[in-house]
Amino acid sequence: MDVMAHFRTPSVLFLLVVPAAILAWTWTRRGGAVSLPFDHATVAERRWTTFFLRSAESLPALILALVVILLAGPQSWDEPRSKRVLTNIQFCIDVSGSMLAKFGEGTRYDAAMRATESFLDLRQGDAFGLTFFGNATLHWVPLTTDTSAFRCAAPFMQPNRLPHWFNGTEIGRALMACRKELIQREEGDRMIILVSDGQSADLYGGRDEEIARELVKDRIVVYTIHIAEGKLPDEVARIAGLTGGESFKPEDEEGLRRIYARIDQMQKSRLEKTQAEAADDFRPWALGALSILGLGLLALFGLRTTPW
């Protein structure tokens, strides 16, 4: 990696010419000899003494060089970390009149809403949206990580309290409406969990495969739960299979909860490596400067040129 990538302000490093010039002058200058009043006296040359004296005189220039480096903002690259990839999950709940049929201790609608709430606890950290549908669709909760609105929705969307245009079952329309919600999220995986109890005429004539192709193109996986007696509709199962999901048919409310747990296991949260980021790295340079400053203070006790 080049030098430019290690400093926040690499242009400041040009100031290193100043301590470099001081070092050059310290080691190349002549002088320092002391004339003593002795005629014809000879003094042996002390090269090691000169070396240690020049080394001590170089310490302030080295400290100045480290100060320049600190001003340039030294940086190091962190190790890439793993982060959880957000999954955008759109619940698509049927609220047609047939969802009032008995299922377990309550109705199909009640069981679907209770199981949905339990699934929220399994997927903490993901984003959830909630869409109700019949012959029309209603986006009750936009995609959000705040699940409080989900837990308050059940009493308001009871099928027996809805206008007549929610009495039918148009799964194709509902899936395409959920698709529009999901494609607004560019980040993260995308999933639809469809809970319904009926057939859907708007999937006939090859429309199911057309919808599946649209969903696959937008990287949306569909899991379908048929919460009724009888055979699971082929069109709905085909959409789930083509998008990489699966279809289920619970026999009771406990089976519905197990299905949600299985979906959680099948659609595991992904981890991805984040890009390494540059972080300030002053510590080694600051410690070096402090160490040289300590040596300089020690040198003042004995390694210095004196005129006597």
| Phi and psi at residue 271, to the nearest 5° | -115, 140
Measured CA to CA, the distance from residue 301 to residue 303 in angstroms comes to: 6
Beta strands at 127-133 and 87-94: parallel, antiparallel or unpaired: parallel
Q: How far is CA 116 from the centre of its chain?
A: 26
How buried is residue 37: exposed, middle or buried, by Cβ count under 10 Å (0-12/13-18/19+)? exposed
Structure tokens at 168: 């039918």
Which residue reads 């699934």 in tokens? 119
| Phi and psi at residue 180, to the nearest 5° | -60, -35
Helix 283-299 vs helix 47-71: angle between axes, to the nearest 10 degrees?
A: 150
> Which residue positions in the chain have pLDDT lower than 70?
1-5, 31-47, 77-85, 266-278, 302-308
The answer, as to whether pTM is greater than 0.75, is no
Measured CA to CA, the distance from residue 218 to residue 88 in angstroms comes to: 13
Measured CA to CA, the distance from residue 86 to residue 191 in angstroms comes to: 11
Q: How many CB atoms lie within 10 A of CB 27?
A: 13
Residue 91: predicted pLDDT: 93
Which DSSP category does 209 fall into? H
Residue 276: predicted pLDDT: 55
What pLDDT digit, counting tens, does each position of 232-288 carry?
Answer: 899 999 999 999 999 998 887 788 888 888 887 765 655 455 555 667 778 888 888
Q: How many CB atoms lie within 10 A of CB 64?
A: 18
Decide if domain 83-272 falls under CATH 3.40.50.410: yes
Q: Domain coordinates of the chain in residue numbers?
A: 3-78+277-299, 83-272
Residues 6+ apart with CB under 8 A from 246: 223, 224, 240, 263, 266
